[in-house]
Amino acid sequence: MESKRSKYILIILTVFCVLLIGLTSIHDEWLTPLRTGVGYFLIPIQSGVNRAGSVIYDEIVDYSKLREALEENKEMKEIITQLTEENTALQAEEFELERLRKLYDLDQEYGRYEKIGARVIANDSSNWFQIFRINKGSKDGIKVDMNVVAGGGLVGIVTDVGANYSTVRSIIDDSSRVSGMAMQSGDTCIVAGDLTLFKEGRLRITTVMKESDVKDGDKIITSNISSVFLPGILIGYASDITNDSNNITKSGYLIPVAEFDSIQEVLVITELKADMMVEEEPESVEDTSAESPSEEGTDESPSESGES
């Protein structure tokens, strides 16, 4: 029964479609009102469907463009992040290269001394490198009292040595005292550390004799009479030298050549002043006098002179 109904419905629809096809192919005038009526109802519907379709299509296109833009934005952010990291790495390498170039120049300037390079691996809690630690120790030949240079001149001295590290006390420390002299005149002085004063970027110069020729702008280097510091290492420049109240000595300030807020690499001079002093001490020399015959006809033995 159901199959018969379906057949009938199919036949009716087929006939209806054939009639519609036939009607659309007829151009008689009597069909004009029918076309007009159908158009009257269908055109607004078609226009609405077209507008809705256009809106939906535009939304789909905009969404597609938005997704593409978001994907491109994500890719651009990744590229920018990568370029930023690369640029940061290049800047770090450039700064390191500049520091190493200055360290090389310093090595050449004090070429008469044997040196070993080291990196700073720790410092005290202050903003300046008052006490700091380097990554070279006894297995690298580092010993206590070895001089440390960086940034164009003297930085400090080794005070403690481990197998793989060493501790350096810088010349800005309150307990630091360096025997210095003016390069121009050779007049001596004492360069004293002062952390309070170093906030102004200066150290103290004391014990300058009144008649000495130490003046502002003079280069102050380590003197020959220092017991631990090797001679001829630049410390800084004299500033504001004035007479003391005792009218016997003068004092002033020193602008250090090294920058004690950004030390990263140093050179350790692997020669000790104590060893140099021993080498410079004159050895006992036998002073042989001219031989002259004695009354008994025997030669006089040569006398020995003591060490001076």
Model confidence over 65-95: pLDDT tens digits?
778 888 888 888 778 877 777 776 666 666 6
Confidence of residue 270 (pLDDT cuts 50, 70, 90): very high
Confidence of residue 40 (pLDDT cuts 50, 70, 90): low
Mean pLDDT of all residues in 88-106:
67
The better pLDDT of the pair 30, 55 is held by: 55
The pLDDT of residue 33 is: 64
User: Is the pLDDT reported for residue 294 higher than 50?
Assistant: no
What is the CB neighbour count within 10 angstroms for residue 29? 6
The pLDDT of residue 300 is: 35
Task: State the Cα angle at 198 between 157 and 226, rounded to 5°.
Answer: 35
Mean pLDDT of all residues in 198-202:
85
The pLDDT of residue 42 is: 56
Model confidence over 141-180: pLDDT tens digits?
999 999 999 988 999 999 999 999 999 999 999 999 999 9
Is pTM beyond 0.85 here?
Answer: no
The better pLDDT of the pair 71, 104 is held by: 71
CATH fold of 115-277, please? Thrombin, subunit H (2.40.10)
H, E, C per residue of the chain: CHHHHHHHHHHHHHHHHHHHHHHHHCCCHHHHHHHHHHHHHHHHHHHHHHHHHHHHHHHHHHHHHHHHHHHHHHHHHHHHHHHHHHHHHHHHHHHHHHHHHHHHHHHHHCCCCCEEEEEEEEECCCCCCCEEEECCCHHHCCCCCCEEEECCEEEEEEEEECCCCEEEEECCCCCCEEEEEECCCCCEEEEECCHHHHCCCCEEEEEEECCCCCCCCCEEEECCCCCCCCCCCEEEEEEEEEECCCCCEEEEEEEECCCCCCCCEEEEECCCHHHHHHHHCCCCCECCCCCCCCCCCCCCCCCECCCC
- Domains of the chain, by residue range, sit at 32-109, 115-277
